[in-house]
Chain A
Amino acid sequence: EAQVTQNPRYLITVTGKKLTVTCSQNMNHEYMSWYRQDPGLGLRQIYYSMNVEVTDKGDVPEGYKVSRKEKRNFPLILESPSPNQTSLYFCASSHRGSSYEQYFGPGTRLTVT
């Protein structure tokens, strides 16, 4: 089954404790992206990757890191989480190009206290 998986689905953590949210896709997509969703703001892009070892900042990259060592995986790293990073996070993947839909993972609900 074609899918994007994310783990964990739910996470409650404390300020400053490093965490990683994993994302994996099995569709051989070149393009992967992370979004955060906050009430009233829609989805905003954090980072994206056009291919292996090619990553770039989106609209709200502060406080986040990513890596793309393999085509299928695109982890999101929060080195020192803060309460303002409490949000719903989505990973997405697609082929490169404006005509391709992005496939979304199920989301990770993160709470930072």
Chain B
Amino acid sequence: AQKITQTQPGMFVQEKEAVTLDCTYDTSDPSYGLFWYKQPSSGEMIFLIYQGSYDQQNATEGRYSLNFQKARKSANLVISASQLGDSAMYFCAMRGGSNYKLTFGKGTLLTVNP
């Protein structure tokens, strides 16, 4: 069974600073994908970044980077130079298994202060 744990229900960060959102996972599948999604107050789910279990390098997408530590089973999201528009709920998710199920953590609510 797959499991995603996000231990930070809420986080605060000052505008223009960097912030790390924690995510640990558990799976017995050798092949899996790790994803981060953003959900603003308007409700839509926005894909941010993907990391494959066999990828040697950490994924980066603009201001987002994924700190992937396979041995520790962690996949933390780093947002650099935070902006007010980054205030949202952030979900870590893992996809794997024979049914390609996407399993979500419970989310972290990020608030960016001016």
**Residues on A facing B (Cβ under 8 Å):** 31, 33, 35, 40-45, 48, 50, 56, 58, 88, 90, 92, 94, 96-104, 106-107, 109
Contacts and interface: CB of A to CB of B under 8 A. Distances in A.
B106 A48 contact: no
A96 B102 contact: no
Nearest to B107: A42
A47 to B, nearest CB: 11
Nearest to B101: A45
B56 to A, nearest CB: 15
The main secondary structure of chain B at its interface with chain A is: strand
Interface string B80-101: 0000000000010101110111
A37 to B, nearest CB: 8
A96 B100 contact: yes
B44 A98 contact: no
Given A40-B106, A107-B44, 8 more contacts: A31-B100, A48-B101, A92-B45, A99-B50, A101-B50, A102-B95, A102-B102, A104-B37
The main secondary structure of chain A at its interface with chain B is: strand
B102 A45 contact: yes
A80 B100 CA distance: 29
Contact of B105 (A42, A90, A97, A106): A42
B104 A97 contact: no
Nearest to B32: A98
Nearest to B43: A107
A90 B100 contact: no
A43 B43 CA distance: 12
